[in-house]
Amino acid sequence: MENILNIISWVLLMSGGVFCIIGTVGLLRMPDSYTRLHASSVVDTLGVGLILAGLFVQAGFTLIGAKLAVIGVLMFFISPVAGHAVARAMIHRNVKPTLADDDKEDRS
């Protein structure tokens, strides 16, 4: 039974790490601030959620597991709110998104 829990935990940990790496690559490859914010906030919530789930499987129903669950709930709510706050700040500072039509006009 312990081997099955270890396998489940490692699958969750590795998939969470892969999602965080994909988010980082998306953060570097996206053309403007809005798409970078989207790539980082969506993948950040999923990646951290999977990592915390893998750690919870390892910890079990203990005090450490309860702390991990609280961290997971906080990340589930705080990450989207922080992304929204950053997007509102960009709108407030008149940061314009890069549109595909703008690129076509610049090339002509």
Single-letter residue type at 52 = L
For residue 62, the model assigns a pLDDT of: 93
Q: Is 59 exposed, middle or buried (0-12, 13-18, 19+ CB in 10 A)?
A: middle
Q: What is the DSSP string of 24-48?
A: HHHHHH-SSHHHHHHHHHHHHHHHH
Confidence of residue 106 (pLDDT cuts 50, 70, 90): low
Tokens of 53: 């789930």
- Round to whole Å and give the CA distance between 86 and 92: 10
Stated pTM of the model: 0.79
List for the chain the helix, strand, coil content (%; round to 5).
85, 0, 15
Q: How many domains does the chain have?
A: 1
Residue 12's domain comprises 2-107
Mean pLDDT, the chain, whole residue set: 87
